Amino acid sequence: MKTVNERQLMRYLHGELPAAEAVHVEEALRRDPALRQVLDGLESSWSSLQLPPVEPAPLGFSTRIAARARGGVEPAGLLSSLGEGSRWVRATAAAALLSGLVVGASLGWWMQPRVDPGAATEDPQLVVDEGLDLFFEESLADHYWNALLTEGSEMASSDGGGWS
């Protein structure tokens, strides 16, 4: 005697067994209360799956579809994918735009001059900047020549003018 397995019971429940096999399952169910219990469990799980009824399509829905098809509104290629994922694309574009604005504003704020004109002489940074400006305005040769003269005169004064 062939045994009946759970998969066969599911097919029986769904009306998918050939007639001869269904008869065989029914006989087995009559003989075996445990098998009947398995079938009841399957049936209970199956019938407990419920979702709310779906409302009909709104009025004019089919007309809208036909008009879209007729008008060739559906764009092709990249535009098509943009249309299909419009929510995603819009959100990404908005995020990119926002990031760009934030980065731009931050850069602008960071690069603006932070020196108060009224306190220019008190700012040591400004002094350094002025020194650098002076340095680049001079030619390199002049700079070294002046430095040498300054150092020479300092040495002369400290040694009592012994080298000249």
Partner 1 sequence: MVIADAFPLDLPVAPVSAAVDPVTEPAATGDPDVDLLRRTAAGDDDAFAELVNRHQERLLRLCQRLLGRRDEALDAVQDVFLKVYRKAGAYQHRGKVYTWMYRIATNHCFNQLRRRKIVRFVGLERGYADEDADTYLLDPPDPAAGPERALEARRHWQATRRLIDQLPENQRAVLVLAKFEGLSYREIAEVLDITVGAVESRLFRAMRRISRAQQDLR
- Should residue 4 be labelled a site residue for partner 1 when binding is judged by CB under 8 A? no
Q: Are 29 and 35 in contact (CB under 8 A)?
A: yes
User: Helix H segments across 49-139?
Assistant: 61-71, 77-84, 86-111, 124-137
User: Does the protein bind partner 1 through residue 96 (CB under 8 A)?
Assistant: no
Q: Is 27 an interacting residue with respect to partner 1 (CB under 8 A)?
A: no
Q: Which of 23, 37, 79, 84: binder of partner 1 (CB under 8 A)?
A: 84
User: How far is residue 63's CA from residue 119's CA, in Å, rounded to a whole number?
Assistant: 73
Count of residues touching partner 1 (by CB under 8 A): 44
91 binds partner 1 (CB under 8 A): yes
Measured at the alpha carbon of residue 94, what is the angle toward residues 91 and 96, in degrees to the nearest 5?
A: 110
Given the rule CB under 8 A, which residues bind partner 1? Answer: 6-7, 10-16, 39, 41-43, 45-58, 61-66, 68-70, 74, 84-85, 87-88, 91-92, 95
